[in-house]
Amino acid sequence: MLALSGNDVRTLVPMKTAIELMKEVFAELSAGKAVSPLRTPVDVPTESAVSLYMPAYVPSREGLGLKIVSVFPNNPAKGKPTIHALVAVISAETGEPLAILDGTYMTALRTGAVSGAATDLLSRPNSRVLTCIGAGAQGVTQAWAVASVRPIERIYVADMNPDAVASFAARLGALAPELASKVTPVTDLDNAVAESDVICTATTSRQPVFNDAALKSGAHINAIGAFTPEMQEIPVATVKRARIVVDAVDAVLAESGDLIIPINSGQLDRSAVSLELGQIAAGAAGRMDDTEITLFESVGNAVQDIIVARYAVEEAERLGRGQHFSL
């Protein structure tokens, strides 16, 4: 059995490769070929935390496995990351355990990569200004992914945690050195959003994190933080006027507060949530014109982890990387 660290995954799966893997796997998911049951959350009330269990099967890559991701918002005060995760890869031929991989870096990588795919398919090609609301590990890879598919010249970053903002440029520079000098911390989000062609939200907020009126015409939004029905990052006014694209319809309608809240309040018709990123990757129309607001809403899907994990395992075997052990 093989064990791969976060550093192994980082070396084996470049961001641009991960972005293309996201287009591939979501097209397969939308076509009904990949299998991804709704994840099972286990709440940990004493820590205001949740642990999520997410199986998936990706037949095109013979990918079968499980991801466990835990979100513990009190961890920064303990000097630990908010998110920890583990991925297990199983043989699709025999059911034998093949590998375990650090899922913490993979979660940030694949979440950034799907936003990169959405940005490539939905944003205006000349998008140059990016705002990242949320400066944690997810925010860093969001910026990296967007800058991998668009000619980004400025990256504004905002977060309630000043330490996260202060270290953002260095953490981004460790992944993509050419991007560190493009980072500018901001406190006036209205001005930053008004300039931005692409906005990424990666927070645990329960109320909108920017004002709809500040949005620039033709902006594209990647919203990846609202993964429970109570969470909300995007103003209802924005959701109502945007072209909505989601990772998986069933999942977002069960989990994403950004969509559930306006639907339950009667401000958004459920039928407005019908277009999946995989359909666009397979050729369906995306952005309709340069003035349209596009919103990609994602709650995450285990197919992302399994396709990246399977690719990483194949590359590790080819290059002789990782540690082998017996159970």
Q: Give pLDDT tens digits for 186-216.
A: 999 999 999 999 999 999 899 999 999 999 9
| Percent of residues, the chain, with pLDDT higher than 90 | 93
What positions carry a catalytic annotation?
A: 67
Residues 283 and 317 in one domain: no
* Residue 113 belongs to some domain of the structure: no
| Mean pLDDT over each residue of the chain, to the nearest integer | 95
32's torsion region: left (phi>0), alpha (psi -120 to 50) or beta?
left
Task: Output the pLDDT for position 285.
Answer: 87
Q: Give pLDDT tens digits for 235-249.
A: 999 999 999 999 999
3-state secondary structure 48-84: CEEEEEEEEEEHHHCEEEEEEEEECCCHHHHCCCCEE
Residues 172 and 296 in one domain: yes
Q: Give pLDDT tens digits for 167-186.
A: 999 999 999 999 999 999 99
Q: Report, as an integer, the average pLDDT of 274-303.
A: 95
Rounded to the nearest 10 degrees, the angle between the axes of helix 137-149 and helix 162-175 is 40
What is the pTM for the complete model shown? 0.92
Residues 156 and 228 in one domain: yes
Residues 295 and 311 in one domain: no
Q: Give pLDDT tens digits for 81-125.
A: 888 999 999 999 999 999 999 999 999 999 999 999 999 999 999
Q: Tell me the residue range of the domain where 267 lies.
A: 119-300
Structure-token pair, residue 266:
């009667």
Give DSSP secondary structure letters for 215-273.
PPTT-EEEE-S--STT-B-S-HHHHHHSEEEES-HHHHHHH-HHHHHHHHTTSS-GGG-
Task: Output the pLDDT for position 83.
Answer: 84
